[in-house]
Amino acid sequence: MPSTSVRRSAGQISGEDIVVEAAWLYYHDGLNQNEIANRLDVSRATVVNYLQEARERGFINITLASEPFTNHRLAGELCARFDLRAAYVLPDGGGSEREQFERVARGAANWLPSLLEAQDRLGVAWGKTIHDMAEHIEPVSIADLEVIQLVGSMATPYGFSAEICSANVARKLGANCVNLHAPAVLSTSEIAATLRKEAIIAAQLEAIEHCNKALFAVGSCNHDSHIVTSGLASHDDLDWYVAQGAAGVVCGRFIDTHGDPVRGPLDERMIGIDQTALRGKTMGVLVSVGRDKANAMLAALRGGYATHLVTSQSSARRLLDTRP
Amino acid sequence: MPSTSVRRSAGQISGEDIVVEAAWLYYHDGLNQNEIANRLDVSRATVVNYLQEARERGFINITLASEPFTNHRLAGELCARFDLRAAYVLPDGGGSEREQFERVARGAANWLPSLLEAQDRLGVAWGKTIHDMAEHIEPVSIADLEVIQLVGSMATPYGFSAEICSANVARKLGANCVNLHAPAVLSTSEIAATLRKEAIIAAQLEAIEHCNKALFAVGSCNHDSHIVTSGLASHDDLDWYVAQGAAGVVCGRFIDTHGDPVRGPLDERMIGIDQTALRGKTMGVLVSVGRDKANAMLAALRGGYATHLVTSQSSARRLLDTRP
DNA sequence: ATTAGGTTCTGACATTTGTCAAAACGGTGG
DNA sequence: CCACCGTTTTGACAAATGTCAGAACCTAAT
């Protein structure tokens, strides 16, 4: 009676097959590792290995439903106060601001796919928030999705510049990516104007105008915030805009505490979506968290740039504690 | 120093919030129950309860990726042999036929959502297989999906009659449901013809013609198979069709070993999709398993009714072991 | 044959998770 | 104020899962 070996390399069963079988028995049929070990006639330790392999290979998807987060009490209040269609509030979990940032990025990554549908054209801004979010998106494929870079590229080589953000989001969502092949800011408004008329750039700006959804973060108006460190604005630029009442930055554009555009010399030299166009999208997803972002978030929310918000509990409380 | 209570009903945190928080920390942040217990300042046993509640409430979704099943060696061979676009082969797991049936139903439930896209019109047949499958679909919402009942309702009250199958599939997928408000089989062809001309029925038959995808099982030609027990065909009907070469049943219609229609007196009296229309769909998902279904499956596959197949390893082997 | 080098598997132990009866709690009505 | 009742939490124990060093196994080269 020659017993057929179950060793992975032997037998008629191909290598990964037994791994899948173990995963199925465990996650779908609800057997425990002992029962699986008996059925497959291997040791329980081996079953542990199979299951680990299955997880590593991404055979198992564990996702958290979005409802409990959006239904969160704070989410409801945020929607009411800032006229949002939905908000996604992540628990603080008692961790540091660093951890909270991470969690919000993951939360946004978790939520985003369910906000998109086939044929959407999603504009993507830039920044550490957007970049980290993109990292955490579980790859899915959304039919005929187009991802469009909303802001020109950064002069300084930067880990989370606009083209990298949009490319990563597109990659994770299996989408086509329209990059904006121009610097975010040019030395003179004339050069910017010329560039805007270039056929290639014009087509890309056209794509920006016609995207229906937007994903963006906000920047604060400090001298150490990304708007300066990325080389988009000089310290003088920043001072000038702050003097005019700037309270925050969306897609590289300055806005005041009411969210209204603060226009100035830099604007003419920039290539990318402007405040008016951003406000016109049918969906605007704002991802932001942190004490330092509070004012800028408030400005962006008041300005009506966002229809959807992802943030943390403590940030949500800060927003709600401010007088309207 | 009044310590704020974390008891669920107290504090500013709403009841389900702490459950969600625990779930997040566990499934997303990968903390273990002890760490979570410390953070939330409750006992570990409580964390266990929270996590259980989160699972019960469906906050956590665990699904298996479809690739390992569709990439399976047997799946590839099935595609090649029967000209399928994809096959989903479930492990046998050493269990009984009963367990295999169950597993195939769950596998189909797992796979189906990823086969559908927005605006699809999915025709759904009937039978125990389809019914059990529907039970196991994890509720999702597919935009503008329409589910259409392919076969009329059963005269005998039946747990898995056509209208129940389509309604359940529709419910789970958040789809609109077009039911066929007519019996599957009538006493005379004249009555059937009259009924087909009724405006309501005609519109429903129209919907059947225009659906682009179909989900169906096969029936075998035994006297104890559902085609007889459900009251669709009498024993005499069955004998007659078998004598004409019938080897299986799809959507209540008889086919021979090549999958070609076997037409007879019963056909004129039936209301529902016919063999030609079924063959014309852009996608046909056949879900079937079991030794007794082998011949019928073979017939359906040869007849080109299916573009996608869900079955078990052992059933797959049986199919492949048969001479083409 | 035998040996070397890699991979896969296993047994013994460590850690994590689940269970359950009893205790603590919060509201309610005497 | 207290006794009651249903719910939530907890501690102690039981079960399940994870870890890791070494055994078993395969392959290919000597």
pLDDT confidence band for B12 (50 / 70 / 90)? very low
Q: Are B154 and B162 in contact (CB under 8 A)?
A: yes
Residues 6+ apart with CB under 8 A from B301: B82, B84, B259, B286, B309, B319
Which CATH number describes the domain made up of A67-321?
A: 3.40.50.1360
Nearest to B24 among A29, A39, A91 (CB): A91
CA to C1' distance (Å), from A12 to C30:
76
For residue A23, CA distances in Å to A11, A18, A202 come to: 19, 9, 51
Of all residues in chain B, the percent with pLDDT exceeding 90 is 47
Exposure string (b/e) for A174-203, b if CB count within 10 Å is 16 or more? ebebbbbbbbbbbeeeeebeebeeeeebee
Does residue B213 register a pLDDT over 60?
yes
Greater confidence (A167 vs A96) lies with A167
The reply to whether B67-321 shares the fold of B10-56 is no
Give pLDDT, residue A91.
Answer: 77
Does residue A156 register a pLDDT over 80?
no
Q: What is the pLDDT of residues A197-239, one digit of tens each?
A: 988 889 999 999 999 999 999 999 999 888 898 888 999 999 9
CA to C1' distance (Å), from B38 to D10:
14
Give pLDDT, residue A106.
Answer: 87
Q: Is the dihedral of CA A156, A157, A161, A166 positive or negative?
A: positive
Q: Can you read off the two tokens belonging to residue A146?
A: 């187009």
Q: What is the C-alpha end-to-end distance of chain A, expressed in Å?
A: 81
Tell me which residues of chain A have a C-beta less than 8 Å from any C-beta of chain B: 14, 16-17, 19-21, 23-25, 27-29, 39-40, 57-65, 67-69, 72-73, 90-91, 93-95, 103, 106, 110, 117-118, 143
- CB of B90 under 7 A from strand C? no
Of all residues in chain B, the percent with pLDDT exceeding 70 is 92
Greater confidence (A211 vs B30) lies with A211
Beta bridge partners of B123: B148, B214
B103 CB neighbours in chain A (<8 A) are 24, 28-29
Q: Are B86 and B75 in contact (CB under 8 A)?
A: yes
Residue A167 to chain B, least CA–CA distance (Å): 24
Q: What is the pLDDT of residues B76-91, one digit of tens each?
A: 889 999 999 999 988 8
Does residue A4 register a pLDDT over 60?
no
Beta-strand pair B308-312/A246-250: unpaired
- CB of A45 under 7 A from strand C? yes
Give pLDDT, residue A14.
Answer: 37
Residue B61 DSSP SS3 = strand
pLDDT confidence band for B221 (50 / 70 / 90)? very high
Nearest to A143 among B14, B23, B117 (CB): B117
Near-strand D residues (CB closer than 7 A): A 5, 7, 9-10, 32-34, 44-45, 48-49, 51-52; B 6-9, 15, 18, 42-46, 49
Q: Are B59 and B20 in contact (CB under 8 A)?
A: yes
Q: What is the pLDDT of residues A134-150, one digit of tens each?
A: 988 888 888 889 999 99
> Which phi and psi angles does A166 have, rounded to 5°?
-65, -40
Residues 6+ apart with CB under 8 A from A10: none
The DSSP letter of residue B12 is S
Residues 6+ apart with CB under 8 A from A285: A108, A112, A115, A213, A214, A215, A216, A306, A307, A308, A309, A310
A186-190, A299-303, B24-28: range with lowest mean pLDDT: B24-28
**Continuous H helices in B137-229:** 162-172, 189-197, 199-210, 226-229
Does residue A52 register a pLDDT over 50?
yes
Give the nearest chain B residue to A16 (CA atoms).
B68
- CB of A54 under 7 A from strand C? no
Beta-strand pair B213-216/B121-124: parallel
Nearest CA to A244 among A224, A233, A260? A260
Q: What is the mean pLDDT of residues A33-49?
A: 86
- Please give the interface size between A and B, counted as residue pairs whose CB atoms are below 8 Å apart: 107
A10-56 topology per CATH: Arc Repressor Mutant, subunit A (1.10.10)
CB contact under 8 A, B29 and A93: yes
A27-41, A214-228, A304-318: range with lowest mean pLDDT: A27-41
Domain boundaries, chain A: 10-56, 67-321
Residues 6+ apart with CB under 8 A from B172: B134, B137, B138, B139, B140
Does residue B176 register a pLDDT over 70?
yes
Give pLDDT, residue A15.
Answer: 43
Q: What is the mean pLDDT of residues A40-59?
A: 85
Give the nearest chain A residue to B91 (CA atoms).
A21
Give pLDDT, residue A3.
Answer: 29
The whole-model pTM stands at 0.68
Give pLDDT, residue B101.
Answer: 92
Q: What is the mean pLDDT of residues A236-263?
A: 95
Q: How far apart are CA B49 and CA B32, in angstroms?
A: 14
Residue A122 to chain B, least CA–CA distance (Å): 18
Nearest to B143 among A62, A103, A117 (CB): A117
Nearest CA to B162 among B212, B217, B102, B225? B217
Mutant choice from A20, A72, A137 vs B, greatest count of B C-beta within 10 A: A20
Does residue B1 register a pLDDT over 80?
no
Residues 6+ apart with CB under 8 A from A319: A78, A81, A82, A294, A297, A298, A301, A311
Question: Chain D bases under 7 Å from protein CB?
Answer: 8-12, 16-20, 25-27
Mean pLDDT across chain B, nearest whole number?
86
Does residue A72 register a pLDDT over 80?
no
How many angstroms from the chain centroid is the CA of residue A303?
20
Q: What is the mean pLDDT of residues B197-201?
A: 86
How many angstroms from the chain centroid is the CA of residue A130?
4
